Amino acid sequence: MHDPRPLLEQIPFPALRRRRLITLQINVGYRCNQSCVHCHVSASPHRTEEMPGEVADAVLAFIERERIATLDITGGAPELNAHFRRMVIAARDMGVKVMDRCNLTILEVPEQADLAAFLAAQQVVVIASMPCYLEDNVERQRGKGVFAGSIRGLQRLNALGYGREGSGLELNLVYNPQGPSLPPSQEALEADYRRVLGEEYGVAFNNLFTLANMPIQRFGSMLISKGEFGRYLDLLQHSHLDANLGNVMCRDLISVDWRGYLYDCDFNQMLDMPLMRKGGARIHISDIRAEDLDGRSIRVAGHCFGCTAGQGSSCGGALQDAAE
Ligand code: SF4
Ligand code: SF4
Protein backbone atom coordinates (compact mmCIF):
# COMPACT_ATOMS: atom_id res chain seq x y z
CA MET A 1 0.00 0.00 0.00
CA HIS A 2 1.23 3.55 -0.79
CA ASP A 3 1.67 5.94 2.15
CA PRO A 4 0.11 9.34 1.31
CA ARG A 5 1.44 11.04 4.46
CA PRO A 6 4.72 12.37 2.99
CA LEU A 7 2.71 13.97 0.15
CA LEU A 8 0.11 15.42 2.53
CA GLU A 9 2.75 16.89 4.85
CA GLN A 10 4.10 19.00 1.98
CA ILE A 11 0.76 20.79 1.61
CA PRO A 12 0.28 23.76 3.96
CA PHE A 13 -3.06 24.27 5.72
CA PRO A 14 -4.26 27.25 7.84
CA ALA A 15 -3.35 27.05 11.55
CA LEU A 16 -6.09 25.78 13.89
CA ARG A 17 -6.43 25.75 17.68
CA ARG A 18 -8.57 23.63 19.94
CA ARG A 19 -11.57 24.94 21.86
CA ARG A 20 -13.16 23.39 24.96
CA LEU A 21 -13.45 19.62 24.67
CA ILE A 22 -17.01 18.34 24.14
CA THR A 23 -16.72 15.00 22.35
CA LEU A 24 -14.48 12.04 23.05
CA GLN A 25 -14.20 9.87 19.95
CA ILE A 26 -12.73 6.46 20.67
CA ASN A 27 -11.55 4.04 18.04
CA VAL A 28 -11.91 0.69 19.80
CA GLY A 29 -10.21 -1.36 17.10
CA TYR A 30 -9.64 -1.83 13.40
CA ARG A 31 -11.39 -5.22 13.04
CA CYS A 32 -14.49 -5.13 10.86
CA ASN A 33 -16.77 -7.67 9.20
CA GLN A 34 -16.37 -5.66 5.96
CA SER A 35 -13.36 -4.29 4.05
CA CYS A 36 -14.67 -1.34 2.02
CA VAL A 37 -12.62 0.31 -0.74
CA HIS A 38 -12.96 3.85 0.66
CA CYS A 39 -12.30 2.85 4.31
CA HIS A 40 -10.06 5.48 5.94
CA VAL A 41 -9.13 2.96 8.64
CA SER A 42 -8.21 0.12 6.23
CA ALA A 43 -10.35 -2.03 8.50
CA SER A 44 -11.00 -5.69 7.69
CA PRO A 45 -11.82 -9.02 9.39
CA HIS A 46 -8.05 -9.71 9.60
CA ARG A 47 -7.04 -6.68 11.70
CA THR A 48 -6.12 -7.58 15.27
CA GLU A 49 -5.78 -4.15 16.95
CA GLU A 50 -8.39 -3.95 19.74
CA MET A 51 -8.80 -1.65 22.77
CA PRO A 52 -8.06 -3.75 25.89
CA GLY A 53 -10.01 -3.58 29.15
CA GLU A 54 -7.53 -1.34 30.98
CA VAL A 55 -7.71 1.30 28.24
CA ALA A 56 -11.52 1.07 28.21
CA ASP A 57 -11.37 1.72 31.99
CA ALA A 58 -9.07 4.72 31.46
CA VAL A 59 -11.53 6.11 28.89
CA LEU A 60 -14.44 5.75 31.32
CA ALA A 61 -12.41 7.36 34.11
CA PHE A 62 -11.61 10.31 31.83
CA ILE A 63 -15.30 10.72 30.88
CA GLU A 64 -16.31 10.79 34.54
CA ARG A 65 -13.46 13.03 35.69
CA GLU A 66 -13.84 15.57 32.90
CA ARG A 67 -17.65 15.42 32.60
CA ILE A 68 -17.53 14.70 28.88
CA ALA A 69 -20.87 15.33 27.14
CA THR A 70 -20.60 12.98 24.16
CA LEU A 71 -18.89 9.64 23.54
CA ASP A 72 -18.54 8.77 19.86
CA ILE A 73 -17.50 5.13 19.35
CA THR A 74 -15.92 4.09 16.09
CA GLY A 75 -13.75 1.33 14.61
CA GLY A 76 -13.60 -0.97 12.51
CA ALA A 77 -16.91 -2.33 13.58
CA PRO A 78 -16.85 -1.01 17.17
CA GLU A 79 -19.44 -3.51 18.36
CA LEU A 80 -16.90 -6.34 17.86
CA ASN A 81 -14.80 -5.04 20.75
CA ALA A 82 -15.30 -7.17 23.87
CA HIS A 83 -15.73 -4.04 26.04
CA PHE A 84 -18.14 -2.18 23.75
CA ARG A 85 -21.32 -2.93 25.67
CA ARG A 86 -19.98 -2.29 29.16
CA MET A 87 -18.54 1.04 27.97
CA VAL A 88 -21.90 2.03 26.48
CA ILE A 89 -23.74 1.09 29.68
CA ALA A 90 -21.26 2.91 31.93
CA ALA A 91 -21.30 6.07 29.80
CA ARG A 92 -25.10 6.11 29.59
CA ASP A 93 -25.29 5.66 33.37
CA MET A 94 -23.21 8.85 33.63
CA GLY A 95 -25.76 10.66 31.43
CA VAL A 96 -23.41 10.83 28.45
CA LYS A 97 -24.78 10.92 24.91
CA VAL A 98 -23.35 7.85 23.13
CA MET A 99 -22.98 7.52 19.37
CA ASP A 100 -22.22 4.21 17.62
CA ARG A 101 -20.72 4.33 14.12
CA CYS A 102 -22.46 1.22 12.86
CA ASN A 103 -21.96 -0.41 9.46
CA LEU A 104 -25.46 -2.01 9.60
CA THR A 105 -24.35 -5.46 8.35
CA ILE A 106 -22.89 -6.12 11.81
CA LEU A 107 -26.49 -6.38 13.01
CA GLU A 108 -26.73 -9.63 10.99
CA VAL A 109 -23.65 -11.30 12.43
CA PRO A 110 -25.06 -14.27 14.43
CA GLU A 111 -23.21 -13.36 17.67
CA GLN A 112 -24.69 -9.84 17.43
CA ALA A 113 -28.33 -10.95 17.10
CA ASP A 114 -29.33 -8.82 20.13
CA LEU A 115 -27.21 -5.79 19.19
CA ALA A 116 -30.04 -3.67 17.73
CA ALA A 117 -32.18 -4.23 20.84
CA PHE A 118 -29.20 -3.37 23.06
CA LEU A 119 -28.58 -0.08 21.22
CA ALA A 120 -32.27 0.84 21.48
CA ALA A 121 -32.45 -0.02 25.19
CA GLN A 122 -29.44 2.22 25.87
CA GLN A 123 -30.80 4.98 23.58
CA VAL A 124 -27.56 5.02 21.62
CA VAL A 125 -27.51 7.35 18.59
CA VAL A 126 -26.78 5.20 15.53
CA ILE A 127 -24.66 6.72 12.75
CA ALA A 128 -24.83 4.30 9.83
CA SER A 129 -22.79 4.26 6.62
CA MET A 130 -25.01 4.19 3.55
CA PRO A 131 -22.99 5.58 0.64
CA CYS A 132 -25.91 5.44 -1.82
CA TYR A 133 -29.56 4.46 -2.12
CA LEU A 134 -28.68 2.40 -5.23
CA GLU A 135 -27.55 -1.21 -4.80
CA ASP A 136 -24.81 -1.20 -7.47
CA ASN A 137 -23.07 1.85 -6.06
CA VAL A 138 -23.09 0.53 -2.49
CA GLU A 139 -21.76 -2.89 -3.51
CA ARG A 140 -18.97 -1.44 -5.66
CA GLN A 141 -17.69 0.40 -2.59
CA ARG A 142 -18.60 -1.94 0.24
CA GLY A 143 -18.83 -5.45 -1.23
CA LYS A 144 -21.38 -7.95 -2.52
CA GLY A 145 -24.56 -8.35 -0.51
CA VAL A 146 -23.86 -5.27 1.62
CA PHE A 147 -26.75 -3.23 0.23
CA ALA A 148 -29.44 -5.82 1.03
CA GLY A 149 -27.86 -6.43 4.45
CA SER A 150 -27.80 -2.70 5.15
CA ILE A 151 -31.46 -2.31 4.20
CA ARG A 152 -32.40 -5.21 6.49
CA GLY A 153 -30.35 -3.55 9.25
CA LEU A 154 -32.18 -0.25 8.77
CA GLN A 155 -35.54 -2.02 8.80
CA ARG A 156 -34.59 -3.80 12.00
CA LEU A 157 -33.64 -0.49 13.63
CA ASN A 158 -36.85 1.16 12.36
CA ALA A 159 -38.89 -1.69 13.86
CA LEU A 160 -37.39 -0.80 17.26
CA GLY A 161 -38.37 2.85 16.79
CA TYR A 162 -35.10 4.23 15.37
CA GLY A 163 -35.69 7.09 12.93
CA ARG A 164 -39.38 7.26 13.90
CA GLU A 165 -40.81 10.52 15.20
CA GLY A 166 -41.31 10.69 18.95
CA SER A 167 -39.27 7.54 19.72
CA GLY A 168 -36.21 9.43 20.96
CA LEU A 169 -34.09 6.93 19.00
CA GLU A 170 -31.90 8.76 16.49
CA LEU A 171 -30.70 7.13 13.27
CA ASN A 172 -28.46 9.14 10.96
CA LEU A 173 -27.04 7.97 7.65
CA VAL A 174 -23.64 8.83 6.20
CA TYR A 175 -23.02 9.37 2.50
CA ASN A 176 -19.61 9.60 0.85
CA PRO A 177 -18.95 9.92 -2.89
CA GLN A 178 -18.01 6.89 -4.97
CA GLY A 179 -14.66 8.33 -6.00
CA PRO A 180 -12.47 11.47 -6.05
CA SER A 181 -15.26 14.05 -6.20
CA LEU A 182 -17.00 16.31 -3.70
CA PRO A 183 -20.34 15.30 -2.16
CA PRO A 184 -23.45 16.94 -3.64
CA SER A 185 -25.67 19.26 -1.57
CA GLN A 186 -26.52 17.53 1.72
CA GLU A 187 -30.04 18.96 1.76
CA ALA A 188 -30.96 17.81 -1.76
CA LEU A 189 -29.39 14.38 -1.31
CA GLU A 190 -31.17 13.88 2.01
CA ALA A 191 -34.50 14.49 0.25
CA ASP A 192 -33.60 11.90 -2.44
CA TYR A 193 -32.56 9.34 0.19
CA ARG A 194 -35.77 9.90 2.15
CA ARG A 195 -37.92 9.44 -0.95
CA VAL A 196 -36.16 6.37 -2.42
CA LEU A 197 -35.48 4.51 0.84
CA GLY A 198 -38.99 5.31 2.08
CA GLU A 199 -40.85 4.33 -1.10
CA GLU A 200 -38.78 1.28 -2.03
CA TYR A 201 -37.95 -0.19 1.37
CA GLY A 202 -40.12 1.58 3.96
CA VAL A 203 -36.96 2.89 5.65
CA ALA A 204 -37.04 6.06 7.80
CA PHE A 205 -34.11 8.02 9.26
CA ASN A 206 -33.43 11.34 10.95
CA ASN A 207 -30.58 13.01 9.05
CA LEU A 208 -28.20 12.32 6.19
CA PHE A 209 -24.59 13.46 6.67
CA THR A 210 -22.47 13.97 3.55
CA LEU A 211 -18.71 13.53 3.90
CA ALA A 212 -15.86 13.90 1.42
CA ASN A 213 -13.53 10.91 1.05
CA MET A 214 -10.26 11.45 2.89
CA PRO A 215 -7.12 10.99 0.75
CA ILE A 216 -5.56 8.65 3.32
CA GLN A 217 -5.20 4.90 3.94
CA ARG A 218 -6.87 2.60 1.40
CA PHE A 219 -8.54 5.41 -0.57
CA GLY A 220 -5.40 7.59 -0.60
CA SER A 221 -3.28 4.63 -1.69
CA MET A 222 -5.73 3.82 -4.48
CA LEU A 223 -5.55 7.43 -5.70
CA ILE A 224 -1.74 7.25 -5.78
CA SER A 225 -1.84 3.93 -7.69
CA LYS A 226 -4.18 5.38 -10.29
CA GLY A 227 -2.25 8.65 -10.61
CA GLU A 228 -5.27 10.62 -9.34
CA PHE A 229 -3.89 11.78 -5.98
CA GLY A 230 -2.65 15.21 -7.16
CA ARG A 231 -5.86 15.98 -9.04
CA TYR A 232 -8.04 15.11 -6.04
CA LEU A 233 -5.91 17.23 -3.69
CA ASP A 234 -6.17 20.13 -6.17
CA LEU A 235 -9.94 19.74 -6.17
CA LEU A 236 -10.07 19.79 -2.36
CA GLN A 237 -7.73 22.79 -2.12
CA HIS A 238 -9.54 24.82 -4.77
CA SER A 239 -12.88 24.11 -3.09
CA HIS A 240 -11.63 25.16 0.37
CA LEU A 241 -13.76 27.73 2.20
CA ASP A 242 -12.30 29.65 5.15
CA ALA A 243 -15.80 29.76 6.67
CA ASN A 244 -15.52 26.01 7.36
CA LEU A 245 -12.44 26.43 9.56
CA GLY A 246 -14.53 27.49 12.54
CA ASN A 247 -16.55 24.28 12.55
CA VAL A 248 -14.14 21.45 11.76
CA MET A 249 -14.63 18.68 14.29
CA CYS A 250 -11.10 18.76 15.72
CA ARG A 251 -11.86 22.10 17.40
CA ASP A 252 -13.88 20.39 20.16
CA LEU A 253 -13.29 16.64 19.71
CA ILE A 254 -10.39 14.45 20.70
CA SER A 255 -9.71 11.05 19.15
CA VAL A 256 -8.37 8.14 21.20
CA ASP A 257 -6.77 5.07 19.62
CA TRP A 258 -7.10 1.47 20.80
CA ARG A 259 -3.98 1.89 22.97
CA GLY A 260 -5.30 5.08 24.61
CA TYR A 261 -3.14 7.64 22.76
CA LEU A 262 -4.65 10.95 21.68
CA TYR A 263 -5.03 12.59 18.24
CA ASP A 264 -6.84 15.67 16.99
CA CYS A 265 -9.20 13.50 14.95
CA ASP A 266 -9.64 9.96 13.62
CA PHE A 267 -7.96 10.93 10.32
CA ASN A 268 -4.83 12.08 12.14
CA GLN A 269 -4.97 8.82 14.06
CA MET A 270 -4.88 6.90 10.78
CA LEU A 271 -1.96 9.03 9.58
CA ASP A 272 -0.17 8.42 12.89
CA MET A 273 -0.02 12.14 13.72
CA PRO A 274 -0.52 11.95 17.52
CA LEU A 275 -0.69 14.72 20.13
CA MET A 276 2.82 15.02 21.56
CA ARG A 277 4.37 16.50 24.67
CA LYS A 278 7.38 18.77 24.36
CA GLY A 279 10.20 16.29 23.95
CA GLY A 280 8.22 14.04 21.62
CA ALA A 281 6.34 11.62 23.93
CA ARG A 282 2.79 10.63 22.98
CA ILE A 283 -0.03 11.72 25.28
CA HIS A 284 -2.15 8.98 26.91
CA ILE A 285 -5.76 9.44 28.01
CA SER A 286 -4.90 8.32 31.55
CA ASP A 287 -2.37 11.13 31.81
CA ILE A 288 -4.15 14.34 30.78
CA ARG A 289 -6.83 16.79 31.91
CA ALA A 290 -9.33 18.19 29.40
CA GLU A 291 -8.30 21.75 30.32
CA ASP A 292 -4.73 20.97 29.20
CA LEU A 293 -6.07 20.57 25.67
CA ASP A 294 -7.76 24.01 25.51
CA GLY A 295 -6.06 26.28 22.99
CA ARG A 296 -3.58 23.64 21.84
CA SER A 297 -2.50 23.90 18.25
CA ILE A 298 -3.96 21.20 15.97
CA ARG A 299 -1.74 19.06 13.72
CA VAL A 300 -2.83 19.90 10.19
CA ALA A 301 -1.70 18.82 6.69
CA GLY A 302 -3.11 18.51 3.18
CA HIS A 303 -5.80 15.99 4.12
CA CYS A 304 -7.51 18.69 6.21
CA PHE A 305 -8.85 20.19 2.98
CA GLY A 306 -11.13 17.13 2.97
CA CYS A 307 -12.89 18.79 5.92
CA THR A 308 -13.08 22.31 4.49
CA ALA A 309 -13.77 21.76 0.77
CA GLY A 310 -17.16 22.89 -0.53
CA GLN A 311 -19.91 22.56 2.05
CA GLY A 312 -17.34 20.97 4.38
CA SER A 313 -17.33 17.63 6.21
CA SER A 314 -17.35 16.67 9.87
CA CYS A 315 -18.62 13.75 11.91
CA GLY A 316 -21.97 15.58 11.86
CA GLY A 317 -22.00 16.02 8.07
CA ALA A 318 -21.78 19.22 6.02
CA LEU A 319 -20.45 22.23 7.93
CA GLN A 320 -22.15 24.89 5.84
CA ASP A 321 -25.62 23.53 6.62
CA ALA A 322 -24.63 23.13 10.25
CA ALA A 323 -23.36 26.70 10.41
CA GLU A 324 -26.51 28.20 8.83
S1 SF4 B 1 -17.71 -0.88 7.35
FE2 SF4 B 1 -16.70 1.03 7.92
S3 SF4 B 1 -14.95 0.42 9.23
FE4 SF4 B 1 -15.68 -1.43 8.15
S5 SF4 B 1 -14.36 -1.56 6.35
FE6 SF4 B 1 -16.25 -0.45 5.74
S7 SF4 B 1 -15.75 1.74 6.03
FE8 SF4 B 1 -14.19 0.53 7.13
S1 SF4 C 1 -8.53 16.25 9.11
FE2 SF4 C 1 -10.21 17.66 9.61
S3 SF4 C 1 -10.74 17.16 11.72
FE4 SF4 C 1 -8.70 16.29 11.33
S5 SF4 C 1 -7.21 17.84 11.97
FE6 SF4 C 1 -7.62 18.18 9.80
S7 SF4 C 1 -9.29 19.71 9.77
FE8 SF4 C 1 -9.22 18.83 11.80
CB contact burial 110-142 (16+ within 10 A = b; e otherwise): eebeebbebbbeeebbbbbbbbbbeeeebbbbb
CA atoms within 13 A on the CB side of 283: 20
Q: Is the CB of 250 under 6 A from ligand 2?
A: yes
Q: Is the CB of 273 under 6 A from ligand 2?
A: no
Can you give the pLDDT at residue 155?
97
Residue of 28, 35, 36 with the most ligand 1 atoms within 8 Å of its CB, for mutation? 36
For residue 37, what pLDDT band results from cuts at 50, 70 and 90?
confident
Can you give the pLDDT at residue 138?
81
Nearest-CA residue for atom 1 of ligand 2: 304
Residues linked to residue 101 through DSSP beta bridges, in sequence order: 127
- 3-class SS of residue 239: coil
Q: Which of 269, 281, 277 is nearest to 293 (CA)?
A: 277
- 3-class SS of residue 284: strand
Q: Could you tell me the pTM of the whole model?
A: 0.94
Question: Over 50: is that where the pLDDT of 69 sits?
Answer: yes
Can you give the pLDDT at residue 316?
61
Q: Is the CB of 217 under 6 A from ligand 1?
A: no
Beta strands in 48-96 (DSSP E): 70-74
Work out which ligand 1 atom sits closest to the CA atom of 41.
Answer: 8
Can you give the pLDDT at residue 217?
86
For residue 220, what pLDDT band results from cuts at 50, 70 and 90?
very high
Sign of the CA dihedral running 137, 139, 142, 146: positive
Q: Are 46 and 270 in contact (CB under 8 A)?
A: no
Can you give the pLDDT at residue 317?
63
For residue 100, what pLDDT band results from cuts at 50, 70 and 90?
very high
For residue 74, what pLDDT band results from cuts at 50, 70 and 90?
very high
Percent of the chain at pLDDT exceeding 90: 82
Can you give the pLDDT at residue 322?
41
Q: How far is the CA of 168 from the centre of ligand 2 (A)?
A: 30
Q: Is the CB of 298 under 6 A from ligand 2?
A: yes
Q: Are 50 and 28 in contact (CB under 8 A)?
A: yes
